[in-house]
């Protein structure tokens, strides 16, 4: 699965299932951990909330 849209990133529960199933995650072309994906989601949410 691939998306360029931040709003299309699955929720934390779905990401956890995907990770357990062996999915690898990338941000900006680099493989990252599930923890980094969750941090990224929180940063984007905080940025949207402050606007």
- Three-state SS across 6-48? HHHCCCHHHHHHHHHCCCCEEECCEEECHHHHHHHHHHHHHHH
- Which residues of the chain are under the pLDDT cut of 50? none
Note the pLDDT of residue 17. Answer: 96
Question: Token pair for residue 26?
Answer: 């990338």
Note the pLDDT of residue 1. Answer: 67
Is 0.85 surpassed by the pTM of this model? no
Note the pLDDT of residue 16. Answer: 94
């Amino acid at each position: 699965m691939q998306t360029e849209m931040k709003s299309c990133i699955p929720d934390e529960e779905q990401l956890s299932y995907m990770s357990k199933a062996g999915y690898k995650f990338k941000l900006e072309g680099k493989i990252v951990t599930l923890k980094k994906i969750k941090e990224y989601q929180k940063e984007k949410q905080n940025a949207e909330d402050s606007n």
